[in-house]
Structure 1
Amino acid sequence: MPIVQKLYDTCKASLSPEGPISEEALEKVRIILAELKPSNVGLEQEAQLVRGWKGSLNGTNGKKWRNGSYHYPPSIKYIHLHMEIFCRSPGSVIPLHNHPGMTVLSKLLITCKVICWVYSGFDDPSQARPAKLMKDCLMSAPCNTTVLHPSKGGNIHCFKALTPSALFDILSPPYSSEDGRHCSYFRKSTRKDLPGVEHDQLSGVKPSEITWSEEI
């Protein structure tokens, strides 16, 4: 059975409109997703382009051919297979955004390096919200599948591609404005602290570990 069909069938059995039916079911999806390769989703040509990549964020972001011309990948290409794939060119950014009430499985299919900022937000009604930086790292494919949970592990994050890249996402449950699961974007606030926010509201996180973010 093709791995994409196997992944789809496992998702159908393991994920519900409310999210994963159990941790065991979620683990079954994660294991199959970990086996996914660019060739399984029609991205082998793009993968070959990355293998010969000579571009740089400080220079020309393209592959130079023998005739001196450059080949440029599209900025961001989106492929929908009941799940979603983001194909991105160097320097492209998926901005800081959230997944309210959602479990997110992500598999990096094509890349050399990607910066991943993962924040764990706190429940605060003010415009600027306290968040702790959970991860700031470079990721290289092939790598393990990452899992973001609704209330732990960092649910607000952004990705910046340093080379051509492809990211395969499974969202459970999916975005739904009618059900209160709409995507919000954030940016770092210039505020260092806000009046009215007590230390005990920060769930034990030290003030020095807090980054303030605001919805845009």
Structure 2
Amino acid sequence: MGIERSLADRKGKSFCELPKETTNSNGRSRKNRRRQRKMLPVQMLFETCKEVFASAGTGIIPPPQHIEKLRSVLDAIRPEDVGLKPEMPYFRTSAAQRIPKITYMHIYECKKFSMGIFCLPPSGVIPLHNHPGMTVFSKLLFGTMHIKSYDWAADLVPHSPTNLKPSQIQSPEVRLAKIKVDADFSAPCTPSILYPADGGNMHCFTAVTACAVLDVLGPPYSDPDGRHCTYYLNHPFSKFSDDGTSIPEEERKGYEWLQEREKLENIEVKGALYGGPKFVES
């Protein structure tokens, strides 16, 4: 999931604007329009995902008009549209909990896309991870969250070696990445989009307050298809020498080294059933 800096102040056309009816029956036309207007937001999201990700595959990015359509649908979704309230127990921690527990509500998944909600209590952390070959849409439903995201620097710094094995690290490799975002975001935020190689494909999340994020992934994670979630440790640029870099001294704070990690610590994620409005899998 990625979060952009801009706020949701776009107006544009409503995502639920209806096409012109071609039927000759005025009664039937009005009935169809009423049915479409009454479609639940979660049903609209499901139907739009089916359309947007109809040709989904590793590294395949939906066309711009489909991207904008799904972004508009997400932009209109509110916490109550998916059955969430800030006072729910998912967003609280007890004194006995050493590590804030994160809850993931699974809504839907198929080979083309997945939908789900991350519920984070204050100080909850989703560690730095990636979304290989995937296009990810995210909507911060409520709360404030700190986002730090990166893109690989290979294309940005073509004359700089981007894979090193410094003497301080035996394995695995570290790789140079450019910091894309490092800031707090508060709802309402414009739904964000990250792409396979742009937009902050590697990112971590820290809940400043209790918050919830609706995620749509197309296609979803799949080990057999090479879409495995990898977690990383981040190191400051100054930690390792890179004598061949072409990055000016004054810009080096905008880059860090990312190192793959095998074991996750200080994180607890619990699955939960989606309890919001139901939708029909047509």
Q: TM-score, normalised by structure 1?
A: 0.79
Question: Which residue, out of 118, 122, 125, partners 2:149?
Answer: 118
Question: What CA distance in whole angstroms lies between the structure 1 residues aligned with 2:243 and 2:132?
Answer: 22
- Deviation track 1:179-208 (CA, whole Å, cap 9, x = no partner) reads 1110001111366365677335x7xx9544
Match of 1:213 in 2: 258
Give the secondary structure class of the aligned counterpart of 2:86: helix
Q: Which residue identity lines up with residue 133 of structure 1 in the other structure?
A: I
- Tell me: CA distance 1:48–1:179, structure 2 relative to 1, closer, same or farther (3 Å): same
Match of 1:94 in 2: 126
Give the secondary structure class of the aligned counterpart of 2:47: helix
Give the secondary structure class of the aligned counterpart of 2:72: helix
Question: How many residues of Structure 1 are paired with residues of Structure 2 in the alignment?
Answer: 192
Asked if the contact 2:237–2:255 (Cα under 8 Å) also holds between the matched residues in 1, the reply is no
Match of 2:102 in 1: 76
Q: Which residue identity lines up with residue 225 of structure 2 in the other structure?
A: D
Using the TM superposition, give the Cα deviation of residue 77 of structure 1 relative to its aligned residue in structure 2, in angstroms.
Answer: 1.2
Match of 1:2 in 2: 40
Asked if the contact 1:192–1:212 (Cα under 8 Å) also holds between the matched residues in 2, the reply is no
Asked if the contact 1:86–1:168 (Cα under 8 Å) also holds between the matched residues in 2, the reply is yes
- List runs of 5+ in structure 2 lacking aligned partners: 1-38, 109-114, 155-161, 165-172, 262-282
Question: What CA distance in whole angstroms lies between the structure 2 residues aligned with 1:12 and 1:135?
Answer: 30
Q: Which residue identity lines up with residue 9 of structure 1 in the other structure?
A: E
Q: Which residue identity lines up with residue 17 of structure 1 in the other structure?
A: A
Match of 1:17 in 2: 56
Question: Which residue, out of 79, 83, 91, partners 1:38?
Answer: 79
- Deviation track 1:70-90 (CA, whole Å, cap 9, x = no partner) reads xxxx72111111101000111
User: Highest Rg: 1 or 2?
Assistant: 2
Question: Which residue, out of 193, 215, 231, partners 1:147?
Answer: 193
Question: What CA distance in whole angstroms lies between the structure 2 residues aligned with 1:168 and 1:144?
Answer: 12
Note the aligned Cα RMSD (angstroms).
2.6
- List runs of 5+ in structure 1 lacking aligned partners: 56-60, 63-68
- Percent identical pairs in the alignment equals 39
Question: What CA distance in whole angstroms lies between the structure 1 residues aligned with 2:52 and 2:245?
Answer: 39
Give the secondary structure class of the aligned counterpart of 1:27: helix
| Alignment map for 1:43-54 (pairs within 5 Å) | 43=84, 46-48=85-87
Give the secondary structure class of the aligned counterpart of 2:224: helix
Question: What CA distance in whole angstroms lies between the structure 2 residues aligned with 1:169 and 1:30?
Answer: 12
Question: What CA distance in whole angstroms lies between the structure 2 residues aligned with 1:39 and 1:122?
Answer: 40
- Tell me: CA distance 1:193–1:75, structure 2 relative to 1, closer, same or farther (3 Å): closer
Give the secondary structure class of the aligned counterpart of 1:192: helix
Question: What CA distance in whole angstroms lies between the structure 1 residues aligned with 2:81 and 2:198?
Answer: 31
Question: What CA distance in whole angstroms lies between the structure 1 residues aligned with 2:203 and 2:62?
Answer: 24
Using the TM superposition, give the Cα deviation of residue 20 of structure 1 relative to its aligned residue in structure 2, in angstroms.
Answer: 4.1
Is the deviation greater in 5-14 or in 114-123?
Answer: 114-123
Asked which structure has the greater RCO (Cα within 8 Å, sep 6+), the reply is 2
Question: What CA distance in whole angstroms lies between the structure 1 residues aligned with 2:103 and 2:255?
Answer: 34
- Tell me: CA distance 1:33–1:189, structure 2 relative to 1, closer, same or farther (3 Å): same
Q: TM-score, normalised by structure 2?
A: 0.62
Asked if the contact 1:132–1:211 (Cα under 8 Å) also holds between the matched residues in 2, the reply is yes
